[in-house]
Amino acid sequence: MIYNVTIDETEHRVELDRAAEGWRCQLDGHAVPLDAVLAQPDVLSILIEGRAYEIRREQAGADLTIWVGDHAHAAEVRDPRSLRERRQRADHDKGARQLVAPMPGKVIRFLLEENSRVEAGQGVVVVEAMKMQNEIKSPKAGVVLKLSVAEGAAVNAGDVLAIVE
């Protein structure tokens, strides 16, 4: 099995084969002597030449995080044979970006109007949750295309608040 894996924005190619004596593994063309045991559904123990790693998987919606000890790595795994995934990838970075609510809460106010210019990192909308007001910032520079909810509206995590292009 071959996987294209992105870890913290760096691409890796991982080849895995189950052999009689365990896993055969190649990382970016180099053989890695690998001993792996699934300790719990989301916990792996990996031994590489005696070095022990405790690894946990955290899946939050579409976001996959691989924890190696206390280091968190943003991960994405693709099977290059899958056409669907290849197509999705091609569309990934183009065009409009959505600002989504990171947690359930209430929209307090918008800081910008539709069609106004916005810098990357500039606050667009204020959401209140757990008695704290938080600014949701634009992921890119551009123009605020649309404010998708009304001030005062209750929103859930993942709801689209605004669109920036």
Residues in contact with another protein by the rule CB under 8 A: 1, 3, 5, 7-8, 10, 12, 14, 16-18, 23, 25, 27, 32, 34, 36, 38-42, 44, 46, 48, 53, 55-60, 64-73, 75-77, 79, 102-105, 129-132, 134-135, 137, 157
List CB contacts of 162: < 8 A, sequence separation 6 or more: 98, 99, 110, 124, 125, 136, 144, 145, 146, 147, 148
Burial of 161 (0-12, 13-18, 19+ CB in 10 A): buried
Give me the least distance between CB of 73 and another protein, in Å please. Answer: 4
Give me the least distance between CB of 115 and another protein, in Å please. Answer: 26
Closer residue to another protein, CB minimum distance, 58 or 114: 58
89/80 Cα distance (integer angstroms): 11
Closer residue to another protein, CB minimum distance, 10 or 115: 10
- Closest by alpha carbon to 110, among 96, 126, 98, 121? 126
Give me the least distance between CB of 127 and another protein, in Å please. Answer: 9
Closer residue to another protein, CB minimum distance, 59 or 114: 59
Task: Judge whether 64 and 73 are in contact, CB under 8 Å.
Answer: no
Give me the least distance between CB of 138 and another protein, in Å please. Answer: 13
